[in-house]
């Protein structure tokens, strides 16, 4: 008998420890008071309780014959009763615990491992009495409570006849939601509390709304709109469809909880660290009591209502499995995204958890065949690097110590294209291995090289115009070309660096593989960088393109009007080559749309990455034409023209 009693006490202590630990996790304001009740032997022992609604205090007392619970701490419960405890008449003491859960208006007393429910749970309470704190104590003589403790902390080791605890009234639902906001893992606590204590029907808490329903054996599926309140300015609440396969075979009844989170609650409980993406203001959670539902033969469908998306945004149905990921992790696994209309999107998912719509900003350079295009561009830039070195050496050798303005302009363009190709090759590597400062500097240098290339292209067109139609008696000084080719880009990049938040690590996403993006050090994807791109990059590109086309038309007109120029087909070919290199090839970027967009994109990458090679090829072809007999004979009659009165015979 004694061994059985010892084992029973150990079991009770273990159970109490588990209950206390669980209670501390679920709600730190729950009340647990335990102790040893010393009573007499032989006579019948009673549990007497007299409880009232309100929030004043609770008295826990013990004497020779009865353990008594009196006070006013309940929201709805009003019990007044005496219960025969049926204790062993040979024992003179019994272990007991008093449990109080204010959120559910639940009060229980456990004596020697036997539970007595004084107030049954009656749903989640609005106003409740909680945070019971020790007040007065009345000493006892032979009978009373020994080693009284509150949540394991000893209140008094002596015999006390009465323990009094004072309560405070609070809004229990708001406090409960506030504790859930502290950590997202408490979402499971919300589900558990609602599932175990809430009556069937609508759920209305400050942090969550929804519905608790029950499926029966012949469940045929159910479609319904969540019974949640929305503002007039807000979108309608989601529409839910639960398939028949949600009801497990062999079960007669199963509870289903549909929770609905919105607005500020979503931002607090479902915070993510994803860049350039966020979830919509509506999140729906679906769970079946005591079951993990996966791989449904027919999917659960949630229809979300939202405002129309911008062209720069993409959407996808995602879910967060709290049993798989401790941190908030939205995944598209197991969900399909179906567009119903511009303002409606339906998510079809084969499992139960939390569901939402993830909205992402489309990267500006979202491209197909990203890996192939990257390889082609790298190879083209490498060829351009070698070509620029050869051409630069040839131009320097050709100069032979003489002042030659044409060679100066050519060399400036070659240096700019060389820097652009070199930085473009290494920008991806530096974006992955370098820190933010390195990537910001690399992005600024790459932008400078691009602007310098465009500016030197403009200098080439301007210099060609001077050769065709001599405007000035003396040619411009060389430093004007350096100022326009190298100085102006440096000024523009310096201004952008002063503005800040322009350069850094840029993500370029592929359509086919969203999990393997390409990173480069370039202009960021924000409003300031977009404005700078349209004003500076596209503006300068339009200037170069338009000036090249105008120059081509001007040369054609000159040739047709001046017979002496008709044999100068070399000059026409030179201007035509400049126009193709500096205008049409870059203009391909404006044609990247429609059914031929992929072909245009490949053509753009191939031609522009080989700019250095085409520059070298053009110069060698022009030299070959100049050395031909036909070109030499025609140049003698043309030497009297004003355009060759300068020293620019290159």
| Residue 176 located in a structural domain | no
Q: Are residues 510 and 530 in the same domain?
A: yes
Tell me the residue range of the domain where 207 lies.
183-361
pLDDT at residue 629 tops 60 = no
pLDDT at residue 6 tops 50 = no
Q: How confident is the model at residue 231 (pLDDT cuts 50, 70, 90)?
A: low
Q: Are residues 127 and 201 in the same domain?
A: no
Q: Are residues 394 and 531 in the same domain?
A: yes
| Residue 178 located in a structural domain | no
pLDDT at residue 518 tops 90 = no
Q: Tell me, what's the pLDDT at 362?
A: 59
pLDDT at residue 623 tops 70 = yes
pLDDT at residue 565 tops 60 = no
Q: Where are the beta strands (DSSP E) in 561-617?
A: none
Q: Are residues 291 and 433 in the same domain?
A: no
CATH code for the domain in which residue 467 is found = 1.20.1070.10
Q: How confident is the model at residue 372 (pLDDT cuts 50, 70, 90)?
A: confident
pLDDT digits (tens, 9 = 90+) for 455-514: 888 887 777 777 766 544 456 677 788 888 899 999 999 999 988 889 988 877 555 445
Q: Are 73 and 58 in contact (CB under 8 A)?
A: yes
Percent of the chain with pLDDT over 70: 73
Q: Are residues 40 and 142 in the same domain?
A: yes
pLDDT at residue 42 tops 90 = no
Q: How confident is the model at residue 342 (pLDDT cuts 50, 70, 90)?
A: confident
Q: Are residues 225 and 289 in the same domain?
A: yes
CB under 8 Å to 434, separation ≥6 — which residues? 442, 521
- Of 556 and 110, more confident: 110
Average pLDDT rounded to a whole number, residues 345-366: 79
Phi, psi of 264 (to 5 degrees): -65, -30
Q: Tell me, what's the pLDDT at 60?
A: 95
Q: Are 273 and 208 in contact (CB under 8 A)?
A: no
Q: Are residues 450 and 566 in the same domain?
A: yes
Q: Which residue, among 332, 273, 337, 349, has the nearest Cα to 309 in the 3D structure? A: 337
Strand-pairing partners, residue 182, are: none
| Residue 175 located in a structural domain | no
Phi, psi of 225 (to 5 degrees): -100, 135
Strand-pairing partners, residue 214, are: 255
Q: Which residue, among 3, 67, 77, has the nearest Cα to 34 in the 3D structure? A: 67
Which of 170, 203, 227 is the last residue before a domain boundary?
170
Q: Tell me, what's the pLDDT at 17?
A: 39
| Residue 341 located in a structural domain | yes
Which of 124, 143, 170 is the last residue before a domain boundary?
170
pLDDT at residue 538 tops 70 = yes
Average pLDDT over the chain, rounded to an integer: 77
pLDDT at residue 144 tops 80 = yes
Q: Are residues 69 and 218 in the same domain?
A: no
pLDDT at residue 27 tops 60 = no
Q: Are residues 585 and 436 in the same domain?
A: yes
| Residue 89 located in a structural domain | yes
Q: Are residues 425 and 442 in the same domain?
A: yes
Average pLDDT rounded to a whole number, residues 326-354: 87
CATH code for the domain in which residue 253 is found = 2.60.220.50
Q: Tell me, what's the pLDDT at 639?
A: 37
| Residue 637 located in a structural domain | yes
Q: Rg of the Cα trace of the chain?
A: 41
| Residue 177 located in a structural domain | no
Average pLDDT rounded to a whole number, residues 4-27: 42
CB under 8 Å to 579, separation ≥6 — which residues? 548, 549, 551, 552
Q: How confident is the model at residue 150 (pLDDT cuts 50, 70, 90)?
A: very high
Q: Are residues 436 and 320 in the same domain?
A: no
| Residue 252 located in a structural domain | yes
- Of 510 and 208, more confident: 208
pLDDT digits (tens, 9 = 90+) for 83-138: 999 888 888 999 999 998 888 888 999 999 899 999 887 767 778 888 788 999 99
- Of 548 and 427, more confident: 427
Q: Are residues 161 and 193 in the same domain?
A: no
Q: Which residue has the tokens 């989170």?
A: 261
For CA atoms 518, 524, 525, 531, the dihedral sign is negative
Q: Tell me, what's the pLDDT at 21?
A: 40
Phi, psi of 301 (to 5 degrees): -120, 130
CB under 8 Å to 523, separation ≥6 — which residues? 443, 447, 502, 503, 506, 529, 532, 533
Average pLDDT rounded to a whole number, residues 621-647: 49
Q: How many domains does the chain have?
A: 3
Which of 135, 170, 205 is the last residue before a domain boundary?
170
Q: Tell me, what's the pLDDT at 333?
A: 85
């Amino acid at each position: 008998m004694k061994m059985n009693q010892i084992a029973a006490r150990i079991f009770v202590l273990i159970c109490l420890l588990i209950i206390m630990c669980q209670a501390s996790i679920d709600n730190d304001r729950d009340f647990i008071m335990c102790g040893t009740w010393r009573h007499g032997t032989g006579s019948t022992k009673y549990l007497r309780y007299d409880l009232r609604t309100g929030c004043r205090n609770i008295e826990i007392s013990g004497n020779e014959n009865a353990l008594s619970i009196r006070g006013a701490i309940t929201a709805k419960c009003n019990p007044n009763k005496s219960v025969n405890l049926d204790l062993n008449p040979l024992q003179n003491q019994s272990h007991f615990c008093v449990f109080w859960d204010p959120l559910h208006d639940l009060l229980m007393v456990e004596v020697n491992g036997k539970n007595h429910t004084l107030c049954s749970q009656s749903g989640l309470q609005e106003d409740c009495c909680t945070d019971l704190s020790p007040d007065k104590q009345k000493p006892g003589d032979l009978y009373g409570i020994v080693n009284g403790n509150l949540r394991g902390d000893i209140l008094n080791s002596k015999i006390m006849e009465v323990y009094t605890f004072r309560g405070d009234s609070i809004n229990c639902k708001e406090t409960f939601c506030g504790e859930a906001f502290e950590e997202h893992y408490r979402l499971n606590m919300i589900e558990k509390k609602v599932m175990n204590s809430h009556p069937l029907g609508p759920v209305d808490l400050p942090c969550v709304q929804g519905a608790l329903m029950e499926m029966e054996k012949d469940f045929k599926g159910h479609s319904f709109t969540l019974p949640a309140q929305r503002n007039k300015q807000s979108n309608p609440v989601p529409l839910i469809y639960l398939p028949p396969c949600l009801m497990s075979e062999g079960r007669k009844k199963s509870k289903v909880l549909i929770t609905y989170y919105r607005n500020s609650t979503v931002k607090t409980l479902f915070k993510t660290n994803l860049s350039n993406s966020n979830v919509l203001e509506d999140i729906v959670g679906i769970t079946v009591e005591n079951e993990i539902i996966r791989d449904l033969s027919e999917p659960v469908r949630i229809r979300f209502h939202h405002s129309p998306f911008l062209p720069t945004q993409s959407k996808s149905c995602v879910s967060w499995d709290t049993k798989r990921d401790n941190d908030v992790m939205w995944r598209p696994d197991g969900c399909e995204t179906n567009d119903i209309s511009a303002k409606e999107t339906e998510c079809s998912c084969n499992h139960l958890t939390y569901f939402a719509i993830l909205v992402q900003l489309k990267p500006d350079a979202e491209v197909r065949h990203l890996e192939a295009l990257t390889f082609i561009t790298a190879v083209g830039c490498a060829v351009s690097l070698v070509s620029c070195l050869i051409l630069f050496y040839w131009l320097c050798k050709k100069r032979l110590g003489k002042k030659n303005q044409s060679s100066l302009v050519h060399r400036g363009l070659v240096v700019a294209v060389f820097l652009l190709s070199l930085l473009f090759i290494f920008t991806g590597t530096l974006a992955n291995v370098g820190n933010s400062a390195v990537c910001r500097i690399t992005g600024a240098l790459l932008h400078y090289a691009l602007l310098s290339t465009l500016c030197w292209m403009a200098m080439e067109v301007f210099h060609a115009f001077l050769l065709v139609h001599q405007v000035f008696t003396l040619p411009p000084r060389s430093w004007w070309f350096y100022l326009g080719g190298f100085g102006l880009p440096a000024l523009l990049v310096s201004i952008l660096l002063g503005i800040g938040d322009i350069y850094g690590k840029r993500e370029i996403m592929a359509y086919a593989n969203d999990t393997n993006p390409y990173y480069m050090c370039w202009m960021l994807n924000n409003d300031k960088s977009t404005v700078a791109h349209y004003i500076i990059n596209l503006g300068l590109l339009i200037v170069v393109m338009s000036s090249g086309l105008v120059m081509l038309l001007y040369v054609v007109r000159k040739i047709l009007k001046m017979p002496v120029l008709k044999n100068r087909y070399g000059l026409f070919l030179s201007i035509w080559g400049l126009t193709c290199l500096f205008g049409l090839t870059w203009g391909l970027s404006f044609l990247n749309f429609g059914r031929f967009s992929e072909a245009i994109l490949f053509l753009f990458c191939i031609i522009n990455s080989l700019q250095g090679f085409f520059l070298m090829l053009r110069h060698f072809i022009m030299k070959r034409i100049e050395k031909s007999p036909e070109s030499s004979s025609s140049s003698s009659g043309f030497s009297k023209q004003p355009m060759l009165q300068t020293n620019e015979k290159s």
